[in-house]
Every structure is written in C-alpha cells, then in structure tokens.
Amino acid sequence: MRAATIVEGRIEVEDRPDPVPGDGEVLISVRAAGINGADLAQRAGRYPPPAGATDVPGLECAGEIADGRRVMALLSGGGQAELAVAHETHLLPVSDGMGWDEAGGFVEVFATAHDALFTQAELSAGERLLVNGAAGGVGVAAVQLGLAAGATVTASARHHHDALRALGADTDVDGEYDVILELVGGENLTTNLGRLALRGRISVIGTGAGSRAEIEFGYLTRKRGRIHGSTLRSRTVEEKAQVMAALGAFMAEHAFHVPVEETFPLERTEDAYERFRAGNKFGKIVVCP
C-alpha cells in the first residue's frame, strides 16, 4: 500500500506492507483521513506514537471494511494510507448523507470534544460554554456538541466569526462561563481563570500557543474551580471504546456537520500538512487516498 511516512521532519509517501488486523480488529480501505494538530507534532518529533502503534500518521479515517460497511474510525495512527487497521469497538457508521471527506475528518475531533465536554467537564443543559480556538476541527465539533446539549455557547477565534455564528454560537466573549474548553493554551489559561463562574471547569486539550502559563490561584480557589487535561491517543483499547460508545449514543439523537476547508490526494500529504500549519482555516484539512 501507499502510506504517508515521516522522513527527517517531512512527509513522504512510500510503499509500505499492508497492515494485518489482529484480534478484534478490522482492515479499512481508506477513502479519507483527517489531519490534526497531533500529526504536525509527530512530524516535528514532539509526539511519538504509543508503543505498538504504527509510525504512519493519522488518528482518524473513513472507508469500507470487508463486509461492505461504510465506517469511520478512531486510530492510534495509520490513517493517512490506503489501508488502515482499527479495533472494531472504535468504529462508527458513516451515514448515507455524509461524504467521505467529512467522515474522514469526523471521529478524532468529535470524540475529543465530546469526552472533554461531557465526561471531564460535565457540561449540562443551561450552562455557559466558552470554546477557545473554535474555528479548528475540535472547536467546531465542540460548538455543535455544546449547542446540542442545550448549553449557551460562545466561540472565541481569530477568524471565521460569521461561520461560527452561523453554527449558532455567540462570538462576544464577555461574561463568566461554567465550562471553558481550551484549545490554544499559553496565556489563555490565565485569562480563563478570570472568566470562570462559580464552580467553573476548564478543560485543556490544546497547547499550540504554549504549554506554560502563570496563574493566580486565588481566582481558582475563590471560584472553587477545576482544571482538567486530556489526550485520547495513549488511552487503552477499552477506554477508547467507552469514548466511542458515548459519542455514538449522542450521535443517535443529533446530527452534526464537519466543515472541510480543503482536501488533498495522498501523494500531496506534505502539502496538506503545510496548509494546516498555515492556519486561517475553518474545520478540517483532509487527505483522500
């Protein structure tokens, strides 16, 4: 098969042996695979794959399996290739109305956002949610998930404000929030503490603007607040299965959309990474083998 590989900090597409499914796994003929910030970190040498996982990047994909089903999958790696292997409990069906590009960019961002909002931060109907970095893939997913849950959602982003308002979010960040989803990092954490409502929760899942910040603990103690951090990739098969089951149950009651900024053929995966890195996108960059 053809697969994206990391060679001296660049993506090169090379021939690789076809992956072989193990117990409880399925082989996917990949039609589309999303690019995420973790892939760029892996390309830069800052985010190696977990032990036992392939070094081929790609944490999500969509395609067909042997019995003809159209599926989208959460992966530890390997999505940016013609073939990928996923555990059967990490699959969701692709609806008839969803295109391959949208399905290929769905699972990682929606699973990440759903777990952070509802399992970690316990967002509930009627609460106020602030999403920092809302124009990216996880941010757009979080906005839709929060609205579907009955929360009032405010989206903070440097661009695409009209598109975020079209999703149903407010873009005026003044006020206090019960839950803040932090996708940017850096000095945002300091600002977030000043925006917490009483018993507010901050969930940190992105640190592109920096992994360090100075905080005033007085804000946290006075608000009786909580700060969470999380990543999905290194979790066990069973833990990921729980995440996917919770997301699947939520999807059964709501419809969601993945805006795709641009697609690239597999042979141009390096160009896709550079387009992601350039920023000013709304939603996902997707590779389509």
Q: What is the distance between the alpha carbons of residues 75 and 132, in angstroms, rounded to a whole number?
A: 25
Q: What is the distance between the alpha carbons of residues 181 and 89, in angstroms, rounded to a whole number?
A: 27
**C-alpha distances in angstroms, 119 versus 40, 48, 112, 178?**
27, 26, 10, 15
Asked if the structure places residue 250 within a domain, the reply is no
Going by C-alpha positions, the residue among 20, 28, 34 that lies closest to residue 82 is 28
Q: Where on the phi/psi map is residue 259: left (φ > 0), alpha (ψ -120 to 50), or beta?
A: beta
Q: What confidence score (pLDDT) does residue 240 get? A: 97
Is the same domain home to 75 and 168? no
Q: Which two tokens stand for residue 186?
A: 């850096």
Going by C-alpha positions, the residue among 204, 43, 188, 213 that lies closest to residue 112 is 204
Count of CA atoms in the C-beta half-sphere (13 A) of 131: 33
Asked if the structure places residue 7 within a domain, the reply is yes
Q: CATH number of the domain at 99, please.
A: 3.90.180.10
Is the same domain home to 129 and 223? yes
Is the same domain home to 30 and 89? yes
Among 181, 212, 229, residue at a domain's last position: 229
Is the same domain home to 13 and 94? yes
Asked if the structure places residue 34 within a domain, the reply is yes
Is the same domain home to 83 and 137? no
Asked if the structure places residue 234 within a domain, the reply is no
Q: Are 283 and 99 in contact (CB under 8 A)?
A: no
Q: Which two tokens stand for residue 21?
A: 């499914």
Q: Which domain range does residue 123 map to?
A: 111-229
Q: What confidence score (pLDDT) does residue 189 get? A: 86
Asked if the structure places residue 251 within a domain, the reply is no
Is the same domain home to 222 and 116? yes
Is the same domain home to 118 and 201? yes
Asked if the structure places residue 243 within a domain, the reply is no
Q: CATH number of the domain at 150, please.
A: 3.40.50.720
Is the same domain home to 87 and 132? no
Asked if the structure places residue 8 within a domain, the reply is yes
pLDDT mean by block of 10 residues, the chain; 289 residues: 97 98 97 96 94 95 97 98 98 95 98 97 98 96 98 96 97 96 87 94 84 83 92 93 98 94 98 96 96
Residue 171: how many other CB atoms lie within 10 Å: 14
Sheet of 226-229: strand order equals 152-156, 128-132, 177-182, 196-204, 226-229
Is the same domain home to 218 and 123? yes
Is the same domain home to 135 and 87? no
Asked if the structure places residue 152 within a domain, the reply is yes
Is the same domain home to 96 and 142? no
Report the 3 state secondary structure along the chain. CEEEEEECCEEEEEECCCCCCCCCEEEEEEEEEEECHHHHHHHCCCCCCCCCCCCCCCCEEEEECCCCCEEEEECCCCCCECEEEEEHHHEEECCCCCCHHHHHCCHHHHHHHHHHHHHHCCCCCCCEEEEECCCEHHHHHHHHHHHHCCCEEEEECCCCHHHHHHHCCECCCCCCEEEEEECCCCCHHHHHHHHEEEEEEEEECCCCCCCCCCCCHHHHHHHCCEEEECCCCCCCHHHHHHHHHHHHHHHCCCCCCCCEEEEEEHHHHHHHHHHHHHCCCCEEEEEEC
Is the same domain home to 193 and 276? no
Q: Give me the number of domains the chain comprises.
A: 2
